[in-house]
Amino acid sequence: MGLSKTFSESDISVHSTFASRYVRDSAAKYKMPENSTPKEVAYQMINDELMLDGKPRLNLASFVTTWMEPECDKLVMDSMNKNYVDMDEYPVTTELQNRCVNMIAHLFNAPLGESESAVGVGTVGSSEAIMLAGLAFKRKWQNKRKAEGKPFDKPNIVTGANVQVCWEKFARYFEVELKEVKVTEGYYVMNPEKAVEMVDENTICVAAILGSTYNGEFEDVKLLNDLLLEKNKQTGWDTPIHVDAASGGFIAPFLYPELEWDFRLPLVKSINVSGHKYGLVYAGVGWNIWRSKDDLPEELIFHINYLGADQPTFTLNFSKGSSQIIAQYYQLIRLGFEGYRNVMENCHNNAMVLKEGLEKTGCFNILSKDVGVPVVAFSLKDRSRHDEFEVSELLRRFGWIVPAYTMPADARHVSLLRVVIREDFSCTLAERLVIDITKVLQELDKLPAKNGNNCDTCVNGHEENNGKKNGSTKKTEDEIKRDIATHWKNIVMAKKANKTMLSCS
């Protein structure tokens, strides 16, 4: 006699996830569920929600790397379970980190002897690196002031208003006044002359940015160094420079080798760079390099031995994965100087393709510079009817994530769009983006203006009248709403009609 079995509703082995009870209940959001969930179901539930995220490679808002070779991906997965700080247990990982530090230090022209090791540390991105650099400057300044018998309770940093928010975090968390040089319309980075004017005896350093987040522009570190040298000579101070090269540090050495911004300048004492930006590694790795041991106060370095051996550490974090460190080493030896130069040249060339395509539309002002991070920042010439935020919103329908934002204080009336050209953004994608931006402009021109002003509009590179006379009366709010509703209704009906035709063919 054959045995029969009645399967319970929770027995996932007899039916698919979507035939089970799990899809009828909302996923846990605030409290851990009482019972376990089959692994297939847990995976499917999370994967389904993640489908609603944007595609990383079409996220043109981010500087962070979104593609690596499969071989590097495999190294990342193989080292996910290694704790980076267990130096005695994972000595090879520690050695690879030290190799990265030395390679990057030489790339930045650190004044090292033939067999001298560089002073630096791997971090969780440039944010941690900036915190560590700032702490080193603060402690060194305090020690000097104490030795001179002078007050040491009011340190400050001078930088531009265009700095990344991590500088504001450092200032607030570690009680340092942030003195910002305001940007102005047409000049969106720190003015070196104004920065040096703001320096006083309490300034622990001046922070320059090699690749502004707003438009990718390099600040003039050479001019800053020269002006600050003169001021130090006049005052007897020794105010140093830190270079925030989060974005530009892996670009300038390959595209602009003659540009002096690094340790070739005597006042540059430390440099941070993001391995997970143009260092071509997935998110989670940064580097901070010091000019010499004298620039990193010894009292900031901790020595521990409870993981098996004496381990010097200077970090805000402790336990962290080894994957990105290993991935960085892979990229450095895999690509070499030649490979990095080719990648950066491609990024620059594709940025120029996008820039020229946008210029041909006749609708945009370009706010980025040809020399800098491969970023194309642009604003509408005519904002009387529609703005950059509407362009950004409609581009999402094509899959593109292009941020719209405003400039810092004193230029906040300037709004713009920004496209970051990364390694995996090809010439074909640049051309495709121009086509889709043009479609968005044409669609916006068919919509009533936000303010009801149907002025001449910009389409396909020239001014095109929309049929209204200059003296036409301004529409009421209700009329505008009706026009918008009618426009979108026509689009929906056209799509339905198109689908019907396709199904009948």
- At 387, give phi and psi (nearest 5°): -125, 180
CA dist 97 and 211 (Å) reads: 25
For 229-267, the pLDDT digits (tens) are: 999 999 999 999 999 999 999 999 999 999 999 999 999
The chain-wide mean pLDDT, for the chain, equals 88
Annotate 96-114 with DSSP letters as a single string. HHHHHHHHHHHHTT----T
pLDDT of 491-505, one tens digit each?
656 655 655 444 444
Q: Report the pLDDT value the prediction gives residue 301, as an integer from 0 to 100.
A: 87
- Look at residue 455 and tell me whether its pLDDT is greater than 70: no
- pLDDT tens, position by position, 373-399: 999 999 999 998 899 999 999 999 999
At 303, the pLDDT band (50, 70, 90 cuts) reads confident
Between CA 329 and CA 13 the distance in angstroms is 44
Average pLDDT over residues 328-335: 98
Q: Which of 483, 485, 416 is nearest to 449 (CA)?
A: 483
Residue 468 in this model has a pLDDT that exceeds 50: no
Is a pLDDT exceeding 50 seen at residue 460?
no
Q: What is the mean pLDDT of residues 123-146?
A: 96
pTM: 0.86
Mean pLDDT of all residues in 338-346 = 98
Share above pLDDT 70 across residues of the chain, in percent, rounded to a whole number: 84
Predicted confidence (pLDDT) at residue 320 exceeds the cutoff of 80:
yes
The pLDDT-based confidence of 2 (bands split at 50, 70, 90) is: low
Does the pLDDT of residue 20 top 60, yes or no? Answer: yes
As a whole number, mean pLDDT of residues 477-488 equals 61
So what's the pLDDT on residue 501? 47
Going by C-alpha positions, the residue among 165, 252, 265, 182 that lies closest to residue 221 is 265
pLDDT at 316: 87
Quick one: pLDDT band at residue 483, thresholds 50, 70, 90? low
Average pLDDT over residues 270-286: 97
Q: HSE on the CB side for 483, CA within 13 Å?
A: 15
The pLDDT score that the predictor gives to residue 245 is 98
d(CA 59, CA 257) in angstroms, rounded, equals: 29
- Mean pLDDT for 132-146 is 97
pLDDT given for residue 9 in this prediction: 52
For residue 59, pLDDT over 90 is answered with: yes
Residue 291 and residue 268 in contact, taking contact as beta carbons nearer than 8 Å: yes
Closest by CA position to 81, among listed 319, 331, 307, 334: 319
How far is it, in rounded angstroms, from Cα 358 to Cα 365? Answer: 9
Question: How many whole angstroms separate alpha carbon 4 and alpha carbon 33?
Answer: 32
Mean pLDDT of 120-139: 96
Q: What is the pLDDT of residues 409-435, one digit of tens each?
A: 888 899 999 999 999 999 999 999 999
- Residue 440, judged by CB atoms within 10 A of its CB (0-12, 13-18, 19+), counts as buried
User: Quick check: 374 and 347 in contact, CB under 8 A?
Assistant: yes
| Residue 17, pLDDT score | 84
pLDDT computed for residue 324 by the predictor = 95
Q: What angle do CA 388, 390, 393 make, to 5 degrees?
A: 110
Q: How far apart are CA 22 and CA 404, in angstroms?
A: 39
Q: Find the helix or strand (DSSP H, E) in which 20 lies.
A: none
Q: What is the mean pLDDT of residues 64-91?
A: 91
Whether residue 451 is predicted with pLDDT greater than 70 in this model: the reply is no
Q: Spell out where 251-380 has E strands.
A: 268-274, 286-290, 302-304, 311-313, 364-366, 375-380
- Is residue 408 scored above 50 in pLDDT? yes
CB atoms inside a 10 Å sphere around CB 78 = 12
> Which stretch of DSSP H or E encloses residue 259?
none
According to the model, what pLDDT value does residue 67 have?
A: 95
The pLDDT assigned to 489 comes to: 60
